[in-house]
């Protein structure tokens, strides 16, 4: 536990930013062509004299590391807020089916050939928003969701969305097929600076916006009724937050596909060390999420190099056992619901 | 004198059903009003309507002359606190964190608790005897301790009026008395206006200034303790025979409920009764 004071928050952010630089450097150095840190520094400064190495680091690895960072940041924060809003420690965009809802929106945009600007991202956002509306409808505005309802809702929505996705996959032409499959598992292998530029503003502005609600989230964690009496407009706050979350999730999914479990693992680890105050938790989960996904993506690139795994394989491989652990964990301090 | 809180022909309903009808009464600054009545008579609904947590279907709740629904939640929380029966925290939190939540209505969106806020919280904890619990986890406390922490949180709001919803429901009798001592102290020595829903008529009669007896969503009787706690009112509302006497120490009316086979129909009850004029 750590007290939510500006100095402590800056300290935590500083440490985690340092960790991110370290992990990012590791990510830039690793791969089919490994580089030492010294060599990496020369490449980054443009004094390596090797066009090939510069191309590998600056055109292939750097956009990928940056995108992994942005996506991990967004997913980590979304996990924190979902868990508080739904009052359930297992809530997370992937488990709830929101990621696949976003993926379906994105796929529909591609298959239907929608041409308006940022069509894929906008449809992914729409897919996420519709999914959240479905989840809230199923939980019938009870304010809290018990674990069984939550998990079943997620399983059913995932199954439903995947059936539609598979329909699109089965009926699509050869050249579109690869673009579609990309959504089924999270993959950062096609990262470009363009993707980073598209999603980073949403994640950064989203983070600043969410931070404005940090104290409100602390109170919502004390229950809707208590929050109401302590001065929160509960319904309005929840709607604003859910829309923000679908926006972030939608944009993140539109550049990375469905990467599961980041929003589960990251908030829990951070909460264990730093406590539950959202003023610390939100920025810390974002930064640690960034570190986590960059590390996971680096692992995805090197475990069976030169072949690369989709990063979703790594996060699911770690995430599923972690999920069981949280599910069975007694005395985690979360009140049973 | 302008009442602090006023219900004007208040009606509340869920769906088709009317839960409250034609409720009118006033609460003045410094009052200690206990709301009593059988289960389902609408006590908690009334309290929630007073706090603006549920909308009136008819009539109005006026707080300081302004309809309670016209306040922003934050504005209202600066001077009105609400203490509920139960608290469902999802995250583990320390007692200090819980009490500091009471400062939320006084803080702007991005500001942190300053020395003044910490001092207010510390005083609230001192007053409720929870200062020593500051770093403990709220979830690890006993029922009585939690109750005091939640009252400390309410005090940290620096309220003028506090609404209590059956605050002693989960406390043993010793802690129930402690609780009433505490809010009596708040009322008497801090000038706090108190409206408390209570299921314990005797304790409520012992401590409160006025009482509101509810029956089936309406006010059955409103007045001083001895006007409300009478044999006929208790029998009419609870449908049970009661023995009424006076608490020998405080002089407040005291009731004993009598079962079907306990001589309620015989004259024995009347003979045992200690009438106010006999004491």
- Compute the average pLDDT of residues B75-92: 85
pLDDT digits (tens, 9 = 90+) for A136-163: 787 665 555 566 777 788 888 889 998 9
C-alpha Rg value of chain B to the nearest Å? 20
Q: Do A218 and B97 touch (CB under 8 A)?
A: yes
Q: Do A215 and B107 touch (CB under 8 A)?
A: yes
Helix (H, G, I), strand (E, B) or coil at B253: strand
* Cα(B55)–Cα(A205) distance, integer angstroms: 35
- Compute the average pLDDT of residues B155-180: 88
Give the global pTM.
0.87
Q: Do B97 and A223 touch (CB under 8 A)?
A: no
Q: Count how many Cα atoms sit within 13 Å of the Cα of residue A173 in the half-sphere of its side chain.
A: 6
What pLDDT does residue A330 have?
52
Look at residue B265 and tell me whether its pLDDT is greater than 80.
Answer: no
Burial of A185 (0-12, 13-18, 19+ CB in 10 A): middle
Nearest residue to A127 via CA among A92, A165, A173: A165
What pLDDT does residue A224 have?
84
* Cα(A293)–Cα(A285) distance, integer angstroms: 12
Q: How confident is the model at residue B272 (pLDDT cuts 50, 70, 90)?
A: very low
Residues on chain B touching A233 (C-beta within 8 angstroms): 72-73
In a mutational test of the B interface, the residue from A5, A230, A236 whose CB has the highest number of chain B CBs within 10 Å is A230
Torsion angle (degrees, nearest 10) of CA A181, A187, A188, A191:
0
Look at residue B239 and tell me whether its pLDDT is greater than 60.
Answer: yes
In A100-139, the residues whose Cβ lies within 8 Å of chain B are none
Look at residue B174 and tell me whether its pLDDT is greater than 90.
Answer: no
Query: Is B69:B11 a contact under the CB 8 Å cutoff?
Result: no
Q: Count how many Cα atoms sit within 13 Å of the Cα of residue A221 in the half-sphere of its side chain.
A: 30
Residues on chain A touching B75 (C-beta within 8 angstroms): 231
Distances (CA, A) of B83 to A227, A283, B209: 12, 32, 19
Reported ipTM: the value is: 0.85
Tokens of B157: 């709001």
CB atoms within 10 A of CB B189: 9
Angle between helix A278-302 and A311-328 (nearest 10):
130
What pLDDT does residue B278 have?
44
Residues on chain B touching A83 (C-beta within 8 angstroms): 90
* Cα(B239)–Cα(B232) distance, integer angstroms: 10
Q: How confident is the model at residue B276 (pLDDT cuts 50, 70, 90)?
A: low
* Cα(A235)–Cα(A222) distance, integer angstroms: 15
What pLDDT does residue A188 have?
85
The stretches in chain A having pLDDT less than 50 are 331, 333, 336-337
pLDDT digits (tens, 9 = 90+) for B98-127: 999 999 999 988 889 999 999 999 999 998
Instruction: Name the helix (H) or strand (E) containing B59.
Output: strand B58-63
What pLDDT does residue A337 have?
40
Residues on chain A touching B81 (C-beta within 8 angstroms): 229
Look at residue B130 and tell me whether its pLDDT is greater than 70.
Answer: yes
Residue with tokens 């097929």, as numbered in its chain: A177
Q: What is the DSSP string of B101-118?
A: GGGGGGS-TTPPP-HHHH
CA-based nearest residue in chain B for residue A208: B110
Range list of H helices, chain A: 6-29, 37-45, 51-54, 62-85, 93-96, 98-111, 119-139, 147-171, 174-184, 193-211, 214-220, 224-229, 234-256, 262-274, 278-302, 311-328
Nearest residue to B40 via CA among B21, B19, B24, B55: B19
* Cα(A112)–Cα(A279) distance, integer angstroms: 42
């Amino acid at each position: 536990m750590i007290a939510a004071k500006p100095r402590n928050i800056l300290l935590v952010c500083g440490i985690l930013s340092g960790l991110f630089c370290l992990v990012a450097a590791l990510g830039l150095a690793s791969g089919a062509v490994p580089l030492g840190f010294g060599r990496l520094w020369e490449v980054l400064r443009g004094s390596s004299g090797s066009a090939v190495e510069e191309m590998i680091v600056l055109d292939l690895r750097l956009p990928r590391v940056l995108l992994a960072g942005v996506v991990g940041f967004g997913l980590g924060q979304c996990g924190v807020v979902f868990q508080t809003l739904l009052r359930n420690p297992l809530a997370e965009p992937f488990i709830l089916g929101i990621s696949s809802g976003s993926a379906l929106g994105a796929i529909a945009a591609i298959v239907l050939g929608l041409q308006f600007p940022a069509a894929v991202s906008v449809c992914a956002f729409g897919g996420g928003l519709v999914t959240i509306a479905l989840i809230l409808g199923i939980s019938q505005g009870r304010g809290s969701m018990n674990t069984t309802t939550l998990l079943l809702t997620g399983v059913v929505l995932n199954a439903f969305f995947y059936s539609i996705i598979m329909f699109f996959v089965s009926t699509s032409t050869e050249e579109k097929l690869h673009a579609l499959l990309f959504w089924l598992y999270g993959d950062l292998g096609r990262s470009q600076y363009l993707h980073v530029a598209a999603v980073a503003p949403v994640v950064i502005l989203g983070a600043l916006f969410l931070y404005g609600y940090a104290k409100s989230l602390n109170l919502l964690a004390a229950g809707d009724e208590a929050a109401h009496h302590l001065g929160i407009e509960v319904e309005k706050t929840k709607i604003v937050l859910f829309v923000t979350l679908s926006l972030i999730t939608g944009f993140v999914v539109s550049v990375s596909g469905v990467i599961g479990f980041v929003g589960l693992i990251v908030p829990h680890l951070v909460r264990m060390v730093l406590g539950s105050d959202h003023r610390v938790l939100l920025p810390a989960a974002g930064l640690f999420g960034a570190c986590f996904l960059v590390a996971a993506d680096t692992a995805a690139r090197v475990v069976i190099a030169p072949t690369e795994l989709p990063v979703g394989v790594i996060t699911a491989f770690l995430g599923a056992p972690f999920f069981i652990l949280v599910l069975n964990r007694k005395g985690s301090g979360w009140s049973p619901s | 004198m302008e009442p602090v809180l006023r219900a004007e022909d208040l009606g509340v309903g869920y769906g088709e059903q009317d839960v409250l009808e034609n409720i009118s009464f006033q609460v003045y600054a410094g009052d200690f009003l206990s709301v009593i009545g059988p289960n389902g008579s609408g006590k908690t609904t009334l309290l929630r309507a007073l706090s603006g947590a549920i909308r009136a279907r008819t009539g109005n709740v006026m707080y300081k002359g302004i309809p309670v629904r016209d306040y922003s939640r934050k504005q209202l929380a600066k001077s009105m606190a609400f203490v509920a029966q139960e608290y469902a925290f999802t995250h583990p939190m320390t007692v200090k964190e819980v009490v500091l939540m009471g400062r939320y209505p006084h803080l702007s969106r991005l500001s942190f608790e300053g020395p003044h806020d910490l001092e207010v919280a510390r005083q609230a904890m001192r007053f409720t005897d929870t200062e020593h619990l500051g770093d403990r986890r709220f979830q690890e406390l006993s029922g009585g301790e939690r109750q005091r922490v939640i009252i400390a949180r309410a005090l940290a709001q620096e309220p003028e009026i506090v609404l209590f919803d059956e605050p002693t429901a989960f406390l043993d009798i010793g802690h129930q008395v402690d609780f009433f001592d505490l809010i009596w102290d708040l009322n008497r020595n801090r000038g706090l206006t108190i409206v408390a829903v209570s299921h314990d008529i005797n304790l409520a009669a012992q401590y409160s200034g006025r009482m509101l007896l509810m029956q089936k969503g309406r006010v059955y009787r409103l007045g001083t303790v001895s006007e409300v706690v009478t044999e006929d009112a208790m029998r009419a509302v609870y449908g049970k025979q009661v023995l009424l006497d006076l608490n020998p120490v405080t002089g407040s009316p005291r009731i004993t409920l009598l079962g079907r086979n306990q001589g309620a129909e015989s004259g024995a009850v009347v003979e045992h009764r200690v009438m106010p004029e006999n004491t």
